[in-house]
């Protein structure tokens, strides 16, 4: 499905990014992982190679524009870019410190910009490419205490639409995915930090906020990512795909 394709995946060392990396490699792509987590990135690379796939890992902070550009220049051709890396923040506008806001912006907004601005010239020259950005249901509905995070994911949707419009004539497609709650290591860490001793109870409570009655899995998000980055989705660009167990449209 992705044979002879080269895919850059940011945040490929854990969670959704790792699931995407493993699936893309399984389907024939050479996966290039960008991640600040050296251990997680290397572990994903090793897991891919043990399964017979091809992978490279670059220990990169996606907020570093020059480092991203310099690394991308070393890669001959890039068929797919998945801007997945991101961080979260809990709080409303009053208890979101300026430093927290700036950090969210640097990673979730500028990080996506850095990937796009580095990769698009290569895709433009080869007149082809598929870009997938990771947004969130927080970009389209109000979620309590997610001020900075919602801001950043709204920006991701806006950048997706802009790139899709500006580069459609070059054979480049750009879409985004808006997941609801997905069971990743981040969720487990969040619960352990904020609800010690109540992890199981809170996990069930958060799971039930999706009408379908559970959280999504990273592998489910990865399967949608695979479709949107493959030639099967050749007629799809400028779209935001909600994958949320009914959270947005079936809210009770």
103 contact partners, CB below 8 Å, separation of at least 6 = 87, 89
CA dist 194 to 45, 162, 210, Å? 32, 37, 21
Structure tokens at 23: 């699936």
Give the phi and the psi of residue 74 in degrees, each rounded to 5.
-80, -10
Looking at residue 232, what DSSP letter applies? G
Among 224, 221, 213, 105, which Cα is nearest to 159's?
105
Q: Which two tokens stand for residue 109?
A: 């907004």
Read off the tokens for 63.
Answer: 């907020």
120: Cβ contacts below 8 Å, ≥ 6 apart: 129, 163, 167, 172
The residues annotated as belonging to the active site are 149
What are the residues facing 241 on neighbouring strands?
177
Closest CA to 141 of 2, 21, 247: 247
Q: Helices (DSSP H) in the chain: which residue ranges?
A: 15-26, 38-50, 65-73, 98-104, 110-126, 147-167, 185-194, 199-207, 218-229
Token pair recorded at residue 250: 């079936």
């Amino acid at each position: 499905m992705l044979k002879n394709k080269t895919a850059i995946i940011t945040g490929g060392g854990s969670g959704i990014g790792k699931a995407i990396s493993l699936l893309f490699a399984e389907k024939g792509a050479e996966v290039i992982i960008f991640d600040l987590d050296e251990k997680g990135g290397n572990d994903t690379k090793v897991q891919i190679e043990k399964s017979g796939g091809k992978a490279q890992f670059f220990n990169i902070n996606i907020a570093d524009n020059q480092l991203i550009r310099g690394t991308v220049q070393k890669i001959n051709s890039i068929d797919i870019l998945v801007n997945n890396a991101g961080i979260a923040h809990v709080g409303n506008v009053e208890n979101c410190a300026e430093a927290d806001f700036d950090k969210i912006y640097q990673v979730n907004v500028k990080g996506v910009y850095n990937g796009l601005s580095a990769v698009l010239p290569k895709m433009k020259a080869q007149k082809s490419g598929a870009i997938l950005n990771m947004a969130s249901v927080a970009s389209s509905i109000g979620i309590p205490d997610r001020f900075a995070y919602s801001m950043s994911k709204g920006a991701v949707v806006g950048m997706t639409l802009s790139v899709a419009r500006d580069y459609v004539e070059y054979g480049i497609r750009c879409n985004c995915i808006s997941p609801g709650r997905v069971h990743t290591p981040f969720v487990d860490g969040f619960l352990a930090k904020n609800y010690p001793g109540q992890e199981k109870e809170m996990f069930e409570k958060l799971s039930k906020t999706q009408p379908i009655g559970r959280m999504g899995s990273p592998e489910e998000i990865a399967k949608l990512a695979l479709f949107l980055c493959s030639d099967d989705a050749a007629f799809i660009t400028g779209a935001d795909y909600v994958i949320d167990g009914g959270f947005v449209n079936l809210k009770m």
